[in-house]
Structure 1
């Protein structure tokens, strides 16, 4: 009995790794990209169980066990860049924090959450220059507007559909715009932030729909919005930061395509997973809240903050603008085929 259970469980694990190779936008093909770390852990435990309790005795058993070892190797290959053993895509800051630093705080607050005081506590502790909060309605705006004295520059779109955004900045915002890139009820923010040094930084704030049945059964709109911003970032004449809840994991093929098309860097690479979702279930956690930056930045600090009642942990990341870093950072580049794929997704029919 245990032999059969482990045999069919092994088949299921292998299939869950193969499904994302089907480049289809329907949610069932995309959702299996998320739990790669969980699949790796389960894969290892099943292999150990097979070796201890159900050692192979038929050709099919050996084939499945061999496939499980290949599966482990592939999952390690995918996850390794986000461990502390991987190469750092963005180097640590070369100078002490100063007038070229921009510390950002991002949080998906979970619209029905009422622990606003917990966010004030973490904001005070982090002391960011820019605050982005998503899933914010008018109740959340009322609770957070007490920040206005310290953060006088603001762009706010409170919505009752879980896609509201609040942006607060202690630094001057210029040419701030609220965009609806793909859908009329899903906003994003584009603005310039003026650092104390006078340097302007282009900031994009996103929260696209996740590919799940209760929200949107396809990833088409999410991928389109992410890749539209990738092209905008690539064409920007200013240093760029993209941040928000992208509803996509750091290792998905869409996020990797975003990095290559935009040329932006992920500060988590080589430093850890920084899983920001799900705060309520430790065994179902993925890196969904992102901050990407152009190669002319270095990293002063990155932290996942304590849970504040949401299903997401807040993140606090301190970036330092430094053009000298461009020759030391690992800048991703897209091939001709990848650019064609990005354009295909951007121009997909909705």
Structure 2
């Protein structure tokens, strides 16, 4: 029985290693892309297997030594991938030092889950932070009517309630200029784009996204998601204004596409050096991933970032408060894509959908 158990743990070990390496295959099919999501989970399972094989079963044969070495290497590889999001890593976005209230923007983003009926809880959570800008996705006509109190408090709006779980609603206390709803890749998947005027008079270019995930019941490929994310990345790079990109990107913070987006856009990730801020799945502790994102240009500094309490959705909302600090730009290194990465991004953008 002990040998059977040891064989089972060894088999699971090889499976974890294979699943860890599958994302290195740059294929758009969901079976390859979804393996990028559970890196933390794979790391924990990897470490557990190492403890069991060494402490409980023992290393007595050549095959035991092989799996031990492979698991140690795999643990190191997985830790390397998630390390930038631990508190041990360097902060990519600096914390604000000198505050200017008129240059601050508090942003609340949340995937409400279209069939969630706890609108009151959502409103209560939003009010607890009193943000300047609120972006909600998966908002249908029911949600549009239930969050009516936001209409008076946030007079500047871009509203696209839809019944296909891709509705989007943007509310702002600050003036919105050149506000547009775009369908960048798919005709029924909107994104919102606007210039937000801060009380100081400074303008911010804002992009709100919610592309489709690469899962069998939604979209069997990541092609459309990757294309939309990278299109906005290229637009952000060309912007002469400070930039914020936010939303449920249906991609994890450490994925190849998200990393490529950061380099193509030159935008910073406030989570790096601060934590994972896993927002999905709100109801399953071991199956949580950082799917809801806020990226900003290097002329911002961070005041606050927080994962908010669950409001009945399968996503936790996120709150972030930034300050436009142009004087800090030279001190914050902007991510840069090399020539190969630029070619890869162009191929993804030009790929047929």
Structure 2 counterparts to residues 130-209 of structure 1, below 5 A? 130-209=133-212
Partner of 1:340: 343
Tell me whether 221-230 or 320-329 shows the greater mean CA deviation.
Answer: 320-329
Q: Please tell me whether the aligned partners of residues 181 and 225 of structure 1 are also in contact (alpha carbons under 8 angstroms).
A: yes
Deviations 1:167-196 (A, max 9, x none): 000000000000000000000011000000
TM-score where L is the length of structure 2? 0.98
2:310 aligned counterpart, secondary structure: coil
Matched, 1:96 2:99: yes
Deviation at 1:38, TM superposition (A): 0.4
Partner of 1:304: 307
Counterparts of 2:100 and 2:54, CA distance in 1: 52
Deviation at 1:349, TM superposition (A): 1.2
1:123 aligned counterpart, secondary structure: helix
What RMSD over aligned residues (CA atoms) do the two structures have, in Å?
A: 0.7
1:24 aligned counterpart, secondary structure: coil
How many residue pairs end up in the alignment?
Answer: 350
2:139 aligned counterpart, secondary structure: coil
Q: Please tell me whether the aligned partners of residues 99 and 323 of structure 2 are also in contact (alpha carbons under 8 angstroms).
A: no
Deviations 1:102-152 (A, max 9, x none): 110000000000000111111111110000000000110111122111100
Partner of 1:261: 264
Counterparts of 1:154 and 1:230, CA distance in 2: 23
Q: Please tell me whether the aligned partners of residues 280 and 316 of structure 2 are also in contact (alpha carbons under 8 angstroms).
A: yes
Q: Please tell me whether the aligned partners of residues 97 and 300 of structure 1 are also in contact (alpha carbons under 8 angstroms).
A: no
TM-score where L is the length of structure 1? 0.99
Q: Please tell me whether the aligned partners of residues 116 and 140 of structure 1 are also in contact (alpha carbons under 8 angstroms).
A: yes
Q: Please tell me whether the aligned partners of residues 138 and 158 of structure 1 are also in contact (alpha carbons under 8 angstroms).
A: yes
Unaligned runs of 5+ in 1: none
Q: 1:271 aligns with which of 274, 291, 310?
A: 274
Counterparts of 2:56 and 2:240, CA distance in 1: 61
Partner of 1:212: 215
Matched, 1:319 2:325: no
Q: 1:14 aligns with which of 10, 13, 17?
A: 17
Counterparts of 1:345 and 1:68, CA distance in 2: 33
Partner of 2:56: 53
2:148 aligned counterpart, secondary structure: helix
Deviation at 1:96, TM superposition (A): 2.3
